[in-house]
Amino acid sequence: MNKILGVFLALLPFSFCAKDKNIKVPKSIETNSMEIKDGLEVATFAGGCFWCTEAVFLELDGVKSVVSGYIGGKTINPTYKEISNGDTGHAEAIEITFDPTKISFGELLEIFFATHDPTTLNRQGNDVGTQYRSEIFYHNGAQKQLSEDYIALMTSENTFGKPIVTKISAATTFYEAEDYHQNYYNQNKTQGYCSYVITPKIDKLKKMYHDKLKK
């Protein structure tokens, strides 16, 4: 396993109505060079409601775009209504396009685990269902290995005090969600879910990772 860059003490804002916790999460592990296209790389994470995860990663320097969508199921071109029924097998997820010279996949992993609860199976706070599961969809062998190493590290250090249930799977077809889901938080900040759930998460992100944010 590559060396650890350190640890930080963070109040972790989990998904809908979840309680804050004081948890030490390992800093990102240094990454080896990964396959990139046109200087950019793609990461795909599922960690509860994609309104929350999208809002978090849009704040980061080096992230070029974040798209909310569905992945990991059997239904072709699923709709949000179908996803909400829990019958498609898909997870709400985000597809991140990033510049690895500015932010590494390891750093994205660190923030992913710091901003959702990876110990609750098919649930984030009051959001319950397989569509809200915690899952990493890797795009190459390096992402797969790094994800496995990072989870093994947190498990050995008992970071969360409970078993980590985050799955690691090969990326399959990613279906972009409906237009109204894209950039949802920034267009609906006064909406109840956004102001009470996402805004506190963003505020803590800015406090914990001010050096990684877009200027």
Which residues are marked as active site?
Answer: 49
* Tokens standing for residue 76: 């072709």
What is the C-alpha to C-alpha distance for residues 98 and 96, in angstroms, rounded to an integer?
6
Is residue 125 within 8 Å of 97, Cβ to Cβ?
A: no
* Residue the block writes with tokens 């279906």: 175
* Tokens standing for residue 102: 């500015």
Q: Sign of dihedral through CA atoms 62, 211, 9, 28?
A: positive
Give the number of other Cβ atoms within 10 Å of residue 149's Cβ: 15
Q: Sign of dihedral through CA atoms 200, 206, 212, 215?
A: positive
Contacts of 72 (CB under 8 A, 6+ apart): 46, 89, 90, 91, 93, 135, 137, 169, 172
Give the number of other Cβ atoms within 10 Å of residue 204's Cβ: 18
